[in-house]
Amino acid sequence: MFVSVQTTTLVEAWTAAPTAGDPLFAVRQFDSLGVGRGPLDLCLSDVDGDGALDLCVANAFSNDVSVLPGLRR
């Protein structure tokens, strides 16, 4: 899951993993990704056609779009 932190230049990546002996998932922050100022909207799309989803971020305060390439596995 990706969460935009609108008052910064970051998008946070969160992941869920099962905990030992508990059927529920524990959610933890995985990484912070640098983008433009005021990340507002997020979408996943294969922008470069390599078969991996890329994260696209519309940045409200810098009036641009950041594209973070996905990893092809």
Its pTM stands at: 0.78
Which pLDDT score is estimated for 37?
Answer: 94
Strand partners, 28: 15
Ranges under pLDDT 70 in the chain:
18-26, 29, 71-73
The pLDDT of residue 35: 93
The pLDDT value given to residue 73:
59
Q: What angle do CA 66, 70, 73 make, to 5 degrees?
A: 175
